[in-house]
Amino acid sequence: MKMNKKVLPYLLVSPYIIHFLVFVAFPVAFSIVLTFHDWNIISPMKYIGLNNYVRLFKDQLFITSMLNTLLFLAIHIPLQIIVSLFFAEFLNQNIRFRGFFRGAFFLPVIVSGVVVTIVWQQLYGYDTGLLNRGLVGLGLGKVGWLVSTKWAMPSIALMATWKNVGLYIVLFLVGLQTVPAHYYEAADLEGASHSQKFFQITLPMINPTIFMVVILSTIGGFSLFIEPYVMTGGGPLNSTLSAVLYIYKQGFFYYHMGYSATLGLFFASLILIVIMVQKKFVEKDK
């Protein structure tokens, strides 16, 4: 039996439509409805209007988690850009074993985040950690990498940079290889130094790549979860409680599913705003 040509296209796209409706549209719609209810999974949902939204802006712990996330971003983004750009510049040179080094720097990106976090947790150990043992060996005092409110978040930011730097090295390598070689040749003829070529040619030419790295690092920073969850649980004294970890605890520790959905919708809106800003600047640049 010959199939109607008008029906065939709909049948071909139907798997995607079903997937979108079941795994995207329905969860999003349910989450929005959930923000207006109080629900602990066990009991029936109770309509409470805008109470969850009012609670969001009065929640001091939520504000703390936001400040912690902003602190992480303030440390992580500049460190991520400087380190990845430095190594990308190094790996863009004609050096021996360049392919090996490129693969080695990218390896942490594909390793499970939980595995990396556990390894760094052992490195940060106060009494038996390799870092503190090295400091003691040098005659210095121990540092409470994960037990001090001063050092906990910077320590997590350092570990996250090590985990993700390989991805941004690749992005910067692509950007560096798109810079026309004749710019450098003309600069050599003018007697420009390496630093002059870097600041006057390289940085302006890879501005779009830098901007993309900033946006991706920002989105990744807002999604900070595995590192504080495994390493500190949000402590000490909530100094590493990230926004996403707070959302998780509200939903699956305290079973405040309605409030957790409200927090999740708020952060999804923040990420959407960031993407819209990125899109605006990219189109303006073109």
Tell me, what CATH number does 251's domain have? 1.10.3720.10
- Give me the pLDDT at residue 282, please: 55
168 close to 87: Cβ distance less than 8 angstroms: no
Query: Is 181 among the domain residues?
Result: yes
Query: Is 250 among the domain residues?
Result: yes
- Give me the pLDDT at residue 2, please: 56
Neighbours of 92 (CB within 10 A): 18
Residues spanned by the domain of 132? 59-285
- Give me the pLDDT at residue 190, please: 82
Can you list the pairs that 110-114 forms with residues at least 24 positions away whose Cβ atoms lie under 8 Å? 111/163, 113/163, 113/226, 113/227, 114/226, 114/230
Query: Is 174 among the domain residues?
Result: yes
Number of independent structural domains in the chain: 1
Query: Is 52 among the domain residues?
Result: no
Query: Is 29 among the domain residues?
Result: no
Q: Which two tokens stand for residue 136?
A: 């003691």
Query: Is 230 among the domain residues?
Result: yes
- Give me the pLDDT at residue 155, please: 94
Query: Is 222 among the domain residues?
Result: yes
**Grouped pLDDT means (10 residues each) for the chain, 286 residues:** 70 90 92 92 90 91 91 92 90 80 84 89 89 90 90 93 90 88 84 84 86 85 90 91 93 92 88 76 54
- Give me the pLDDT at residue 249, please: 93
Which element (helix H / strand E) includes 46?
A: strand 46-47
- Give me the pLDDT at residue 261, please: 93
- Give me the pLDDT at residue 141, please: 86
Query: Is 12 among the domain residues?
Result: no
- Give me the pLDDT at residue 26, please: 93
- Give me the pLDDT at residue 186, please: 87
Residue whose pair of structure tokens reads 């040179």 in the numeric block:
93
- Give me the pLDDT at residue 71, please: 93
